[in-house]
Amino acid sequence: MQKSVKKIFINLKRFEVPRLFGGVSDHREPEEWAAYIIEGCARLGLGELADMPVIFFFPEALLLTARRVLKAQPCEKVKNMALGCQGVFREDLSGAPGGNFGAFTTHRPATAMRILGSAWTIIGHSEERREKLELIARFAPQVEKDGDPQLAGRAKAVVDTVMNEEVKAALQAGLQVLLCVGETVEEKGEGSAAAQRKRVRQVLRRQLVKGLAGIGSRPVVIAYEPVWAIGPGKVPPGGEYIGFVSAYIKEVVKAEFGYIPEVVYGGGLKKENAGEIGGVPTIDGGLVALTRFSGDIGFHPEDLRDIIQAFRQGAGIGMSGPV
């Protein structure tokens, strides 16, 4: 029996950098790489899944290329594909007299991202949170030096508040939001499973309550990103743990904001874990980054197809579509 609609997000990070320069792209020209992603996924039918939107977060410089290539495809091949950006600034353009009409050097105002072709944005990814915490520690070294949990907690609360400002800016500009939350290895800590889960709940609650404050019932999709499980050699959490976290996220948002959010697994959906994660009842999709972690490391449309196949099978979604 077919279940509810699931969403697959793809965070393409800086994957457009050619291997010659230390990246993972097989294409010398970034525009060719962007076209390869969109055309390849369309050719494989990944945009024809009426029950599964596929959203691509591209680097800002390639949004126009991705939009052009997407528009050039037959409508039926990309009807369920969309583009997104990799973050927005906490302030946006203002049409009001005396407002800021464009002085955003180095930043990505949400309105600019929308007119470049973004329908979505990702906010609060662990890489973004880490960078902001590192800046705080640079100018307030006691945060790390003293190991004071109260100081560290206040620093993280500041970052949560900035994430909230970014969410508000994105929604105000008409973008849909994927907000990432999740605990680090230090936050999870050691000890019994019960003690760890208590600490994890505290971290998630803080990130959710502060990150979604003041937006009302406007739906935001939540990506659970277990930071401690990301990277080479790390062991990802199993379905039971992911089920515990995703159910708790839904519980908190329902209690605090009055709606049940979609929750996707954001710790790197892979072919090896996609089936198990797809079978978690409280999971509504996944976030993919790299699709191949050995040999020809990188992102490949054929691998994405395999990941989606595995996820759909785990979720009990019929395989009669193009995939």
Which residues are known catalytic residues?
A: 125, 225
> In the numeric block, which tokens belong to residue 253?
């948002």
Q: Residue 92 and residue 282: Cα distance in Å, rounded?
A: 34
3-state secondary structure the chain: CCCCCCEEEEECCCCCCEHHHCCCECCCCHHHHHHHHHHHHHHCCCCCCCCCCEEEEECHHHHHHHHHHHHHCCHHHCCCEEEEECCCCCCCCCCCCCCCCCCCCCCCCHHHHHHCCCCEEEECCHHHHHHHHHHHHHHCCHHHHCCCHHHHHHHHHHHHHHHHHHHHHHHHCCCEEEEEECCCHHHHCCCCHHHHHHHHHHHHHHHHHHHCCCCCCCCCEEEECCHHHCCCCCCCCCHHHHHHHHHHHHHHHHHHHCCCCCEEECCCCCHHHHHHHHCCCCCCEEEECCCECCCCCECCHHHHHHHHHHHHHHHCCCCCCCC
Q: Contact at 8 Å (CB) between 153 and 195?
A: no
Q: Could you tell me how many residues make up the chain?
A: 323
Q: For residue 149, give the amino acid letter.
A: P
